[in-house]
Amino acid sequence: MRKIVTTADGTTSIHITETEEQYHSNHGAILEANHVFIQSGLQYLISKTSKPISIFEMGFGTGLNCLLTCLASVKENISIHYTGIESSPVNLAEIEQLNFHTQLGIQKEEFLKLHQLEWEKKHQINDQFSFFKTREMLQNYSAKEKFDVIYYDAFGSQTQPELWTRAITDKLFDMVQPNGVVVTYSAKGSFRRDLAASGFFVERITGPPGKRHMIRAVKQTC
């Protein structure tokens, strides 16, 4: 069973009762996404470069991370190409019940558009932001480019253990540009060690509200 719930910042999310997984933190969906992915990933990279940025999101889900990134591209006036991968897309009936647009002060159509657009096709959302989404499992995905930032937003290891392995961290390392970053809400010790073994410089940094730590991994160059 899946149900719409309201998180602490007033933003709605989707809760899966069978696995007790939720698409966003109970402490605030937008607060979490902004902290983990926008501030710790995108803004971190923007502080180091002015060139166009390519982003890969593992776990497109509700599209919140994509929406926030699109808004940030306009605010920062920086060109971003965004690729989202999702093996089990959220159905539109659920998406229409989410209130991200009201919390962010935008038109609902701006949010819904990300879900209504065709899969496996590149879309130019505005002058700064282009977008591609693919229905695929990460294990089977073959990247045609390397990315500056990876948002790693898979469900937890209890639900998707196959996405928190050394094979995955090796794949992420190969997908990232030199000096690129991977950010995730997780602070899981084994995943942190696997990232380091794959070649990343791994930081355990301050987490979002309700979570002490999270991971940022950088593909450093000599």
Residue 154 belongs to domain with CATH number: 3.40.50.150
- Whether the pLDDT of residue 62 is over 70: the answer is yes
Give CA separation, 159 vs 20, 26, 103, 141, 156, in Å. Answer: 9, 18, 29, 20, 6
Angle, in degrees to the nearest 10, between helices 189-198 and 166-175: 50
Q: Is residue 100 part of a domain?
A: yes
Q: Is residue 33 part of a domain?
A: yes
Q: Is residue 63 part of a domain?
A: yes
Contact 180, 148 (CB under 8 A): yes
The pair of structure tokens assigned to 125 is: 């959302």
The pLDDT assigned to 222 comes to 63
Q: Is residue 15 part of a domain?
A: no
In which band, very low, low, confident or very high, does the pLDDT at 49 lie, cut at 50, 70 and 90?
A: confident
**Helix, strand, coil fractions of the chain, as percent rounded to 5:** 35, 25, 40
Q: Is residue 183 part of a domain?
A: yes
Q: What amino acid is encoded at 54 in this protein?
A: S
The range of the structural domain enclosing residue 209 comes to 28-218
Residues 93-125 pLDDT 10s: 999 999 999 999 999 999 999 999 999 999 999
Q: Is residue 166 part of a domain?
A: yes
Residues 133-186 pLDDT 10s: 999 999 999 998 999 999 999 999 999 999 999 999 999 999 999 999 999 999
Q: What amino acid is encoded at 215 in this protein?
A: I
* Mean pLDDT for the chain overall: 96
The pLDDT assigned to 50 comes to 83
Report the number of distinct structural domains present in the chain.
Answer: 1
Rounded to whole angstroms, how far apart are CA atoms 53 and 78? Answer: 8
Please list, residue by residue across 168-206, b when 16 or more beta carbons sit within 10 angstroms of its beta carbon and e when fewer do.
Answer: bbebbbebbbeebbbbbbbebeebbebbeebebebeeee
Residues 203-208: what's their mean pLDDT?
A: 97
Q: Is residue 137 part of a domain?
A: yes
